[in-house]
Amino acid sequence: MLIVLLILVPFLAGLAAMAMPSSKVHIHAIGASVLTLVLGSVCYYYFTHPGMGETTFSYPWIEKLGASFSVAMDDGLTVLMVMLTALAFPLIFISLLNKIPDRPSTFFGLMLMAQAGLMGVFLAKDALLFYLFWEVALIPVYFLSSMYGGPRRIPVTFKFFVYTFVGSLIMLVSMIYIYQQTPIHSFSWSSFVSVGQSLPSNQQNWLFWMMFVAFAIKMPVFPFHTWQPDAYEQSATPVTIVLSALMVKMGLFAVVRWLLPVIPLGSMHWMNIVMLLSIIGVVYASFMALVQTNIKRLIAYSSIAHIGLMCAAIFSHQIIGMQGVAIQMFNHGINILGLWILVSIIEHRLNTQDMREMGGVAKIAPAFTIALVLISLANIALPLTNGFIGEFMMFNGLFNSVSPYRTVFTVVAGLGIILAAVYTLGMIQKVAYGELKTSTSSFKDLSKNEWVVLIIVMFIILWLGFYPSVLMKLVDVNL
Amino acid sequence: MSAIVISALLGVVMMLSGLILKKSTQVQWIAVLGAVLLLAASIFDHQLVVSKGTQSYYGMLELNSYTAWFNVLISFCVMMYILIFRKSIATVGRSDAEYFALIFFVMCGVYLLSTYSNLLILFIGIEVLSIPQYIMAGSDKESLKSNEASLKYFLLGSFSTGILLMGITLLYGATGSFDILSSKFADQFVQVSSLSSLSFIGIILLIVSFGFKASSAPFHLWTPDVYDGTPTAFTPFMATIAKVSIFLAFIRLFHFSFGNVSEAWQFTIAIMIILTLLLGNVTAVYQQSVKRMMAYSSIAQAGFMLFAIFSFNATSWQGIMLYSVTYTLASIGVFAVIIKMKDYTYEGFNGLAKKEPVLALTATICLLSLAGIPLTGGFFAKYFVLSATVEQGKMIWLVVFAVLMAAISAYYYFRVIMSMYFKQGDAEVSIETTSLEKALLIINAAIIILLGILPGLIIL
């Protein structure tokens, strides 16, 4: 029963926030998100200590269809994603304490609802419920991105919405198709998996693309990525965090949870194509990141490159690669969250996203610079930061895959790491070092609330970098 | 049966009430009372079917569990419609009571269409349904557009009634019976190979005339002009309640009587689906007026309802029930906002969310439902009709085509939402919204969301 609260608490808190006066809503949002984090931690404790409490819940929902409200936190990947979602929102809300958005009731209400939707996606064990949350998570984010952000936000967000909506509708058709093949007409994950094993391979081959397109758009994988740099750039940075730290993980998560087990033959059959697209994405996005002058676009492209590598590693069909992906999904979420918070600080202080107008802040804002350097290094997977272990395992999986082109893929993907170092270090240089300019001379160092958030992020980065076995244990037993 | 009698009587009562009652509000509340009475009568009929099984009346009408339940649902929708629009209906022209009388006469046609078991009753039902609608379309006598709508609708409508009559005649010629439940009738439609050319042409003619009444392409050309010209108070009624009852008549005849010879007509329906979805959605994108966009959207929605005809199984019946209710309620919710606006174009809606947050929110929920977004009833409506086709196993690519069209529909529905919420502007409202109306619109939106969470409430 506790697990349902992970969805219900943010949802109800979001509804309540919309009706609240602006002055109190911020504290309310922080309180609700911290409560969700506590609930998530309890569920995490239950998961790691079997027998302490229930982490599954199931209740018949639409009995005529065989759909049930069935949620469970029964594997490492789900735990990681739920914890990431539970952790990200309080951090975002605390970092906003000195940058309160307009119309805060609407803003925090929609943010909390987005959290509820994301939780639902990660927890759902029923295909129809999964689809429902998949769409429901999108609606608040659509409104948030359209209401807060840059001047081109409305058309850009709409493009994002249409892309994902088309993808998910096609996924729905394939889910209905699989559902019709289940012997007792059930939407449960287990019945989908057992049907998936028995579907003939020619059907799996087209079903694969109907589902994969939806997930590929969300991740996004080349060539479905065109919505992403624009959307990241134009959305207000707190919303960008939700998009890039959490929503894109929905795509990866769905591939691991709903695509590989349900369409196993199809996934094997198209393995090379998907890996090829992912690797092209890694290289392409890395080169694009090199030439960006807008810091938000740079991070957006770096995100495409990272996600591309994760997608390729999933399709290596190797256990170690998958475990690496699960670990990296969590760590990438933490790192990119930290980066975006730093970006929001820059935006707030300097009122620009253009890196040519930045520089020299290392002299006057040492704390900010330390955080920037550390989080950036984690983003390029330096050893002893959290990014390293996952990336190492993913490359290991990629290199051991059954694909005949595995060597080429691994080598070319390795190029992505080098390029990542180039553009990330370049970014640090442009933002923090060089001569102090007139525009940056009054740059204030971190405020208290920003300190708290970044200390937590940096602590996680170093802790998991030194001692990754916390994560390893989670994904080791069962993915 | 009692609903049919009471609806006809109510029509007469309403006409007389205009003579006796002096105040328009009294007439309006009599109409609301009438709608409640109609709902009660439908529930009574439904209870009769539940307790005693399928009811048959003189070989002309047959009330089974599906149709009785449909009558209850549609009566509820009419009650919501009259409650929300009663003031606007009364102020369309000078004769307030007559407008309500027309609505009740149409309802009589609706009940005839949902319960007929004889082709003669089908014909009478369609006429009873259509003739008051011709008058409704022209009820704003001083408006040229309204007159044009009425004349267009009447000319084309009577033409399609002629085709219907022709089809019925041919079927009678082939079978020697009007009674669709009789063995004489059923024997003609056992398998495709033994289908006579007479009955084949009869079936095609019926499809044409049903397609016309249900505004399916290529017989949809009257729809935008008529829905646009008709006074806004009547458009939601004509586009929803009157139209979905046509679909029930359609599905009833084609599933029960022509189900075994589906190969003869299914392909025609598939072509109609493609054309309807394509023309309805693509043309709606280019509209500048929200009212006209809703007219094209009603064509597009008809394309989805045609899926229920195309695939005949229990799921498609559930789909048509759910679709009828959610589509009707959502359209009522959107039109309730359109009627308040001074300017029907998208620009006219700019900034409505700041001025009228309740109207904007309820309209948004209704638009999301029309677009088929989960957690609204519209999602499950689309889910059921499309799922019925996948279940049947034929032409699954048609379903993929339909969901792509649904994505296009999101474009024009979201344009209204964007205007209301994200664009700066000064939306002008011509009629003040009373708190009772606001409450009704919130109830309406709440029902849509409730059906989006628990569709099991109304599917059988």
Q: What is the mean pLDDT of each run of 10 residues along chain B (460 residues)?
A: 91 90 88 94 93 88 91 94 91 86 94 92 94 92 90 92 94 90 86 86 93 90 91 92 92 87 89 94 92 93 92 87 94 93 88 88 94 91 91 86 91 91 84 89 94 85
Rounded Cα gap, residues A168 and A217, in angstroms: 9
CA nearest to A257, candidates A185, A329, A165: A329
Q: How far is B16 from chain A (nearest CA, A)?
A: 47
Shortest Cα–Cα distance, B457 to chain A (Å): 9
- Choose the closest CB to B391 out of A147, A180, A210: A180
**Helical (H) or strand (E) element with A59:** strand A56-62
Whole-number average pLDDT of chain A? 89
Check residue A49 and give its pLDDT: 84
Which residue in B350, B368, B401, B403 has the most chain A C-beta atoms within 10 A of its own C-beta, making it the best mutation to test that interface? B403
pLDDT by residue (tens digit) across A216-274? 998 888 888 888 888 888 888 889 999 988 998 999 999 998 998 899 889 889 999 99
B396 touches chain A (CB under 8 A): yes
Nearest chain A residue to B390 by CA distance is A177
Which chain A residues contact residue B381 at CB under 8 A?
none
- Answer whether residue A182 shows pLDDT above 90: no
**Nearest C-alpha in B relative to A103:** B354
CB-based contact (8 Å) between B375 and chain A?
Answer: yes
Q: Is B411 on the interface with A (CB under 8 A)?
A: yes
Which residue of A158, A165, A173 is in closest CB contact with B400?
A173
Angstrom distance (rounded) from CA B308 to CA B318: 9
Over residues A114-135, the mean pLDDT reads 92
Contact flag B410-A132 (C-beta cutoff 8 Å): no
Among A132, A147, A166, the residue with its CB nearest the CB of B375 is A132
Grade residue A477 by pLDDT with cuts at 50, 70 and 90: low
For residue B393, the chain A residues in CB contact (below 8 A) are 180
Query: By CA distance, what is B418's nearest residue in A?
Result: A154
State how far the alpha carbon of A234 is from the alpha carbons of A284, A319, A349, A426, B420, in Å. 21, 38, 18, 23, 20
Of A136, A170, A176, the CB nearest to B375: A136
Question: Do residue B411 and residue A162 have CB atoms under 8 angstroms apart?
Answer: yes
Q: Which residue of A has its CA nearest to B419?
A: A154
> Searching chain B, which residue's CA lies closest to the CA of residue A135?
B374
d(CA A426, CA B86): 67
> Do residue A146 and residue B421 have CB atoms under 8 angstroms apart?
yes
In three-state form (DSSP H/G/I as H, E/B as E, the rest C), the secondary structure along A118-180 is HHHHHHECEHHHHHHHHHHCHHHHHHHHHHCECCCHHHHHHHHHHHHHHHHHHHHHHHHHHHH
Q: Which of A375-389, A464-478, B150-164 has the lowest mean pLDDT?
A: A464-478
Chain-chain contact of B422 with A146 (C-beta, under 8 angstroms):
yes
- Say whether residue B410 is in contact with chain A using an 8 A CB cutoff: yes
Interface contact B459-A172, CB threshold 8 A: no
User: Is the CB of B316 inside 8 Å of chain A's CB atoms?
Assistant: no
Q: Do B373 and A173 touch (CB under 8 A)?
A: no
CB within 8 Å: B414 and A161: yes
Per CB distance under 8 Å, which residues of A are interface residues toward B? Answer: 61-64, 131-132, 135-136, 139, 143, 146-147, 154, 158, 161-162, 165-166, 169-170, 172-173, 176-177, 179-180, 210
> For tokens 């080169």, what's the residue?
A287
A169 to chain B: which residues are within 8 Å by CB?
Answer: 403-404, 406-407
Reported as a pLDDT band with limits 50, 70 and 90, residue A478 is low
Q: What is the mean pLDDT of residues A7-16?
A: 92
| pLDDT for residue A440 is more than 80 | no
pLDDT band at residue A341, thresholds of 50, 70 and 90?
A: very high
Quote the tokens at residue B156.
């084309």
Nearest of B316, B348, B363, B370 to residue B423 by alpha carbon: B348
Confidence at residue A475, expressed as pLDDT on a 0 to 100 scale? 82
Which residues on chain B are in Cβ contact (under 8 Å) with A114?
Answer: none
* Contact: A170, B403; criterion CB under 8 Å: yes
A437: alpha, beta or left? (left if phi > 0; alpha if psi -120 to 50): beta
Best interface-test mutation with A: which of B422, B450, B458 has the largest number of A CBs within 10 A?
A: B422
Report chain B residues whose CB lies below 8 A from the CB of A63.
456
Per-residue confidence (pLDDT) for residue B392, from 0 to 100: 85
**Neighboring chain A residues of B407 at a CB cutoff of 8 Å:** 162, 165-166, 169
Return the residue of B nearest to A147 by Cα. Answer: B422
Mutate to test the interface with A, among B322, B401, B414 (most CBs of A within 10 A): B414
Q: Are B400 and A162 an interchain contact pair (Cβ–Cβ within 8 Å)? A: no
A172 closest CB neighbour out of B403, B410, B414:
B403
Mutation target to probe the B interface, by most B beta carbons within 10 A, among A15, A59, A65, A68 is: A65
Write out chain B residues lying below 8 Å of A158, CB-based: 414, 418
Q: Which residue has the tokens 């930290």?
A: A338
Q: Do B390 and A176 touch (CB under 8 A)?
A: yes
Nearest to B403 among A131, A161, A169 (CB): A169
> What ipTM was estimated for this complex?
0.89
- Look at residue B434 in the predicted model and tell me its pLDDT: 87
Put simply, the answer to whether B403 touches A131 (Cβ < 8 Å) is: no
Instruction: Using an 8 Å CB-CB cutoff, list chain A residues near B391.
Output: 180
* Res A460 pLDDT > 70: yes
Rounded to an integer, what is the distance from CA B338 to the centroid of its chain? Answer: 18
Q: Which of residues 163-202 of B touch A (CB under 8 A)?
A: none
A177 to chain B: which residues are within 8 Å by CB?
390, 396
CB contact under 8 A, B422 and A169: no
Interface touch B454/A62, C-beta < 8 Å: yes
Q: What does the alpha-carbon distance between residue B99 and residue B27 come to, in Å, rounded to a whole number?
A: 10
The residue among A200, A184, A212, A175 whose CA lies nearest residue A64 is: A184
Closest C-alpha to A134, from A288, A21, A246 = A246
CA torsion through residues B151, B153, B156, B161, sign: negative
The two structure tokens encoding residue A384: 């002893």
Question: Per-residue pLDDT for A354 more than 90?
Answer: no
Name the B residues in 318-337 with CB < 8 Å from any A CB.
Answer: 318
| Beta carbons of B390 and A165 less than 8 Å apart | no
Q: Do A180 and B455 touch (CB under 8 A)?
A: no
B456 touches chain A (CB under 8 A): yes
* A165: nearest CA partner in chain B: B407
